[in-house]
């Protein structure tokens, strides 16, 4: 009864609630699994009222459900229904949100291209599985395979107000990109801004990506 009451109270914000649980790492095997199951069912009940923001947050929650599953496990029926009936719609909402390339991002990308001229570098790379846009993808191929770095250039909006604490969106993106196999390399604005010349920027990036990877 208490759980049902909670669901009723927060049902008008069901997207942000499930997204928040994903940020906190409350997966499908935790103590809140019953609540999550009820919320997922509620999503289907209010599907006609879901806003674009609800849908993009639900996409990240569904992705979290998949990535957090132990090997061989399957999604609970409620989450599986949300994915089956709304998954594509939520993905489109997620990939359809606008993104703008900042001057800071352009500066980091230009320096990466200058320093690592022998590797693949792609700006605003779209990961096919998750729909995430990676600021700068650095890919190094070798006979043993390829290594991919997801360089995330984090301006002030990626952190809580007037602090250096990453926002929930920033933390969730870093976590999920890591689960997808990328080596996530954050470049926060306060570390990049003091670098006044090319040599300082080169040393910084080599340290971030590993000094031996430029070989």
Rounded to an integer, what distance in angstroms lies between the CA atom of residue 106 and that of residue 114? 12
- Model pLDDT, residue 142: 76
Q: Is the pLDDT of residue 155 over 90?
A: yes
- Model pLDDT, residue 28: 66
Q: Is the pLDDT of residue 65 over 50?
A: yes
Average pLDDT for 124-131: 95
> How do strand 145-154 and strand 133-142 relate by DSSP bridges?
antiparallel
Q: How confident is the model at residue 214 (pLDDT cuts 50, 70, 90)?
A: very low
The overall average pLDDT reported for the chain is 86
Q: How confident is the model at residue 154 (pLDDT cuts 50, 70, 90)?
A: very high
Cβ(174)–Cβ(140) below 8 Å: no
Percent of the residues in the chain that have a pLDDT greater than 70, as a whole number: 87
Rounded to an integer, what distance in angstroms lies between the CA atom of residue 99 and that of residue 126? 12
Rounded to an integer, what distance in angstroms lies between the CA atom of residue 19 and that of residue 168? 9
Average pLDDT for 55-75: 84
Rounded to an integer, what distance in angstroms lies between the CA atom of residue 178 and that of residue 185? 10
Percent of the residues in the chain that have a pLDDT greater than 90, as a whole number: 59
């Amino acid at each position: 009864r208490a759980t049902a009451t909670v669901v009723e109270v927060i049902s008008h914000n069901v997207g942000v609630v499930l997204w928040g649980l994903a940020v906190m790492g409350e997966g499908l095997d935790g103590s809140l699994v019953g609540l999550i199951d009820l919320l997922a069912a509620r999503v289907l009940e209010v599907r006609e009222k879901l806003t674009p923001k609800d849908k993009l947050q639900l996409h990240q929650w569904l992705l979290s459900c998949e990535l957090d599953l132990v090997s061989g496990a399957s999604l609970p029926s409620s989450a599986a229904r949300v994915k089956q009936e709304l998954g594509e719609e939520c993905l489109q909402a997620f990939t359809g949100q606008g993104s703008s390339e900042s001057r800071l991002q352009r500066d980091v990308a230009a320096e990466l291209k200058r320093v690592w001229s022998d590797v693949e570098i792609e700006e605003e790379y779209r990961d096919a599985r998750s729909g995430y846009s990676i600021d700068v993808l650095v890919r190094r191929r070798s006979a043993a395979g390829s290594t991919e770095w997801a360089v995330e250039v984090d301006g002030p909006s990626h952190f809580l107000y007037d602090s250096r604490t990453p926002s929930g969106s920033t933390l969730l993106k870093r976590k999920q990109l890591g689960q997808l196999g990328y080596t996530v390399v954050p470049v926060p604005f306060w570390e990049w801004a003091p670098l006044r010349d090319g040599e300082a920027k080169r040393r910084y990036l080599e340290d971030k990506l590993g000094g031996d990877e430029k070989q």
